[in-house]
């Protein structure tokens, strides 16, 4: 990769050391221009007319997203964010009393709240699969929990509060062998590391645009596997997801489009398509290699700092680097670093209560790298931490 060129194409690199890519990454000028130009076109000729004019580029989103994750274009739905994509999959499934939802200890709060709500309404049970010796989901334990009551396996691919990459392929083998639906939250993985839905074997996969894909906020997509989701009717339908076929009849649309809404953020959809095209052009293998190199370098730097404890789990670690500090409040540190032009984040029990409580952690610092970050910026972070500790 030509890092200088990547940084030159990313305006924010000239202003901040951005190590909050797991929150919202810096877009390229190409993505930014795509969004702004479409908004200007809407203002100039009208929203409907602009969408009609840009229809070929809007339609090109589907094959681009499909290429990124090894899917087919008709298995892709544009959705306004990863949470809504995940919701459209999860809430379209049916659960009854005694049914079981199998999940992982590092599950994200929004997803777990949905499990709790469904358990309260339907009388189903949430089963948290224990971790293995690496701190990731124990696949053998998962397999042992499979019985007639298991109706869904739902996990995150990369948790928000740590650098681990869950063994999603191995989980998929268990799910497919048992013929149990498998929902994978990939909002922190797609754009960061290679994701092949055929190899993973998931039935649904939810993705955001704003994180490692470097797309606009308010964008995302849902993958719905053709073979296993064709008969699943979405929990919500409109006249884009279904057709009103008679006074008292309707028919859902074939393919993943039935999980979409008619109204959408068209400028954002074009921006997300531009961001996905750039990821495809760079090559996800090259992106992953660069991210891992930087993340491993940051972990090594932080490990040398007194009073710093690395908190990442997992046999495979990615671009999210988490750590705890004994002598300074994490929120205070984040604020001081931001004032000095260095962006990081803090993960709390609000995000992943089961995991952080089990490890007796209230919060962890989170620094997440991307391809445009540099070794010099990692040194800068370490230096700024030292300055912040001294007051």
- For 195-224, the pLDDT digits (tens) are 999 999 999 999 999 999 999 999 999 999
Q: Which of 5, 20, 9 is nearest to 377 (CA)?
A: 20
pLDDT of amino acid 175: 98
Task: Give yes or no for a contact between 129 and 138, defined as CB atoms under 8 angstroms apart.
Answer: yes
Task: Give yes or no for a contact between 88 and 183, defined as CB atoms under 8 angstroms apart.
Answer: no
**Secondary structure of residue 339 in the 3-state scheme:** helix
The answer, yes or no, to whether residue 91 has pLDDT greater than 90, is yes
pLDDT tens digit string along 231-266?
Answer: 999 999 999 999 999 999 999 999 999 999 999 999
Task: Give yes or no for a contact between 184 and 200, defined as CB atoms under 8 angstroms apart.
Answer: yes
Q: Give how far Cα 188 sits from Cα of 195, 208, 367, Å.
A: 11, 8, 13
Quick one: what percent of the chain has pLDDT higher than 90?
Answer: 98
pLDDT of amino acid 320: 98
Cβ atoms within 10 Å of 338's Cβ, excluding its own? 14
The answer, yes or no, to whether residue 389 has pLDDT greater than 90, is no
* Same fold yes or no, 3-19+283-389 and 29-281: no
| Average pLDDT along the chain | 97
Which CATH number does 3-19+283-389 carry?
A: 3.90.1150.10
Task: Give yes or no for a contact between 241 and 261, defined as CB atoms under 8 angstroms apart.
Answer: yes
Task: Give yes or no for a contact between 346 and 331, defined as CB atoms under 8 angstroms apart.
Answer: yes
Q: How far apart are CA 3 and CA 6, in angstroms?
A: 5
Q: Which of 303, 202, 236 is nearest to 88 (CA)?
A: 236
pLDDT tens digit string along 160-186?
Answer: 998 899 999 999 999 999 999 999 999
pLDDT of amino acid 1: 87
The answer, yes or no, to whether residue 391 has pLDDT greater than 80, is no
Choose which CATH entry (3.10.100.10, 3.20.20.70, 3.40.640.10, 3.40.30.10) describes domain 29-281.
3.40.640.10
Up-side HSE of residue 163: CA atoms within 13 Å toward CB? Answer: 25
* Residue 390's pLDDT band (cuts 50, 70, 90): confident
Q: How far apart are CA 151 and CA 92, in angstroms?
A: 13
The answer, yes or no, to whether residue 348 has pLDDT greater than 80, is yes
Task: Give yes or no for a contact between 99 and 122, defined as CB atoms under 8 angstroms apart.
Answer: yes
Average pLDDT over every residue of 32-51: 98
* Residue 315's pLDDT band (cuts 50, 70, 90): very high
pLDDT tens digit string along 284-299?
Answer: 999 999 999 999 999 9
**Strands 220-224, 150-156: parallel, antiparallel or unpaired by DSSP?**
unpaired
pLDDT of amino acid 98: 96
Task: Give yes or no for a contact between 208 and 114, defined as CB atoms under 8 angstroms apart.
Answer: no
Average pLDDT over every residue of 109-113: 97
Q: Which of 46, 82, 55, 354 is nearest to 218 (CA)?
A: 82
The answer, yes or no, to whether residue 20 has pLDDT greater than 90, is yes
Q: Give how far Cα 294 sits from Cα of 12, 26, 260, 316, 344, Å.
A: 19, 17, 37, 14, 15
The answer, yes or no, to whether residue 10 has pLDDT greater than 80, is yes
The answer, yes or no, to whether residue 329 has pLDDT greater than 80, is yes
Quick one: what percent of the chain has pLDDT higher than 70?
Answer: 100
Q: Six-digit token pair at 26? A: 């810096």
Q: Would you kindly state where each structural domain of the chain is located, as residue ranges?
A: 3-19+283-389, 29-281
């Amino acid at each position: 990769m030509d890092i200088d060129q990547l940084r030159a194409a990313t305006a924010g690199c000239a202003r901040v050391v951005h190590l909050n890519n797991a929150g919202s990454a810096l877009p390229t000028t190409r993505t930014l221009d795509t969004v702004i130009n479409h908004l200007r076109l809407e203002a100039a000729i009208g929203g409907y007319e602009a969408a009609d004019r840009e229809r070929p580029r809007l339609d090109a989103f589907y094959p681009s997203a499909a290429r990124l994750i090894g899917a087919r274009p008709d298995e892709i739905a544009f959705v306004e964010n990863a949470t809504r994509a995940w919701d459209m999959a999860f809430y379209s499934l049916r659960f009854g009393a005694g049914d079981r939802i199998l999940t992982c200890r590092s599950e994200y709060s929004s997803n777990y709240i949905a499990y709790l709500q469904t358990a309260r309404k339907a009388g189903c049970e949430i089963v948290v699969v224990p971790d293995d010796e690496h701190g990731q989901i124990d696949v053998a334990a998962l397999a042992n929990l499979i019985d007639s009551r298991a109706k869904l396996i739902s996990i995150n691919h990369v948790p928000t509060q740590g650098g681990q990459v869950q063994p999603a392929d191995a989980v998929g083998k268990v799910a497919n062998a048992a013929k149990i639906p498998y929902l994978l939250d990939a909002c922190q993985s797609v754009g960061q590391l290679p994701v092949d839905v055929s190899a993973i074997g998931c039935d649904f996969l939810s993705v955001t645009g704003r994180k490692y894909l470097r797309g606009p906020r308010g964008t995302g997509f849902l993958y719905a596997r053709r073979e296993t989701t064709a008969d699943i009717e979405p929990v919500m339908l409109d006249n884009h997801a279904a057709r009103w076929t008679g006074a008292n009849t309707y028919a859902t649309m074939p393919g993943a489009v039935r999980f979409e809404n008619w109204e959408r953020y068209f400028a954002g959809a074009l921006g997300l398509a531009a961001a996905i095209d750039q990821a495809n052009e760079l090559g996800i293998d090259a992106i992953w290699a660069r991210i891992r190199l930087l993340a491993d370098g940051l972990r090594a730097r932080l490990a040398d700092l007194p009073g710093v404890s690395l908190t990442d789990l997992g046999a495979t670690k990615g671009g999210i680097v988490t750590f705890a500090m004994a002598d300074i409040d994490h929120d205070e540190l984040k604020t001081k670093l931001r004032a000095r032009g260095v962006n990081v984040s803090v993960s709390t029990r609000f995000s992943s209560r089961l995991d952080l409580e089990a490890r007796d952690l209230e919060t962890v610092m989170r620094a997440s790298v991307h391809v445009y970050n540099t070794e010099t910026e990692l040194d800068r972070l370490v230096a700024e931490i030292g300055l912040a500790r001294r007051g």
